[in-house]
A and B are shown apart, each in its own frame.
Chain A
Amino acid sequence: MHGEDGQPEDRPDVASDIGSVEAPSRAQKSSRRDLLRLSALGGAAIITIRPGMAQAAASVNMCTIAVPDAARSTKWIKSDGTLVSKNTANSYPGPTSPLKAADIKNAINYNTSYPGYTSAQSSAYTNYIKKLTQGTAGFTCFASIQNPA
């Protein structure tokens, strides 16, 4: 492995601008050792800033997400959020109408259920929504729901 900045001059655009936020490594020696203990792998070492409120504040709470999206509307949703054929064990038919952003936000943050659905069903729907990626139907709405902080 090479650090990018270790690359020769023909890659001039790969330079990192590192600014220290809080004085690093003024830690005790024992916690230094902790850094290199396997247990240290449990925690996240990288936090990447993603588009937060990528959308207008105004649009938050205004969009809806169809579960599943229209192109796959005959599928059922398994408890882990993946789509399966109907009548598969541990799976549920999608909600009859698209879920509202305000409800989704509460479900993600506080594990609440969607109006009219059981908690098991709701958690399957929320897991489906969490798996949405850019380019899929509903992602724009999902991105706009992502809670600040």
Chain B
Amino acid sequence: MTLLYHKPSGVTHFLASPLPEMLALLREVPCGADILAERLCHRLAIPCNDEAVTVVTERLAELAAIGLVHSA
């Protein structure tokens, strides 16, 4: 679990993996869900498949709902 204080909203969140890893990757280079899933799998050294893309897409939506990421 990673603890995070989000300054713009003043809200505290706990994030479970792989959300912190996803945020770290987006901070390096912003990108869409497909590419993010690939980069994440690469970083975690696991094979990338459709399931991974689905999970990343869902998790991105959760992050967007609390405002930690947003569409360009």
A residues in contact (CB < 8 Å) with B = 1-7, 13-22, 24-25, 27, 29, 32-33, 35-38, 40-41, 43-49
Query: What's the Cα separation between A40 and B25 when bound, in Å?
Result: 20
- Contact of A18 with B19 in the complex, beta carbons under 8 Å: no
CB within 8 Å of A: which B19-63 residues: 19-21, 23, 25-33, 36-37, 40-41, 44-46, 51-52, 54-56, 58-60, 62-63
By a CB distance below 8 angstroms, the chain B residues around A14 are 7-8
Query: What's the Cα separation between A38 and B52 when bound, in Å?
Result: 8
B residues in contact (CB < 8 Å) with A = 1-8, 11-21, 23, 25-33, 36-37, 40-41, 44-46, 51-52, 54-56, 58-60, 62-64, 66-72
Q: Pick from B13, B33, B44: contact of A49, CB below 8 A.
A: B13
Q: Name A's interface SS.
A: mixed
Q: Pick from B20, B44, B60: contact of A1, CB below 8 A.
A: B60
Query: What's the Cα separation between A84 and B64 when bound, in Å?
Result: 34
Query: What's the Cα separation between A107 and B8 when bound, in Å?
Result: 36
By a CB distance below 8 angstroms, the chain B residues around A7 are 30
CB nearest neighbor in A for B60:
A1
CB nearest neighbor in A for B12:
A49
CB nearest neighbor in A for B56:
A36
- Contact of B27 with A5 in the complex, beta carbons under 8 Å: yes
Q: Pick from A32, A37, A47: contact of B44, CB below 8 A.
A: A32
If A45-B19, A46-B66, A48-B66 are given as contacts, then 15 extra A-B residue pairs at C-beta distance below 8 Å, sorted by A number, are A1-B26, A1-B69, A3-B23, A6-B29, A17-B7, A18-B2, A18-B3, A18-B23, A22-B1, A24-B20, A35-B17, A36-B56, A37-B51, A37-B55, A46-B62
Contact sample, A vs B, 22 pairs, CB 8 Å cutoff: A2-B31, A16-B4, A16-B6, A17-B6, A18-B3, A18-B4, A18-B20, A19-B4, A20-B3, A21-B1, A24-B2, A24-B20, A24-B21, A25-B17, A32-B44, A32-B45, A35-B17, A36-B51, A37-B51, A45-B15, A46-B16, A48-B12
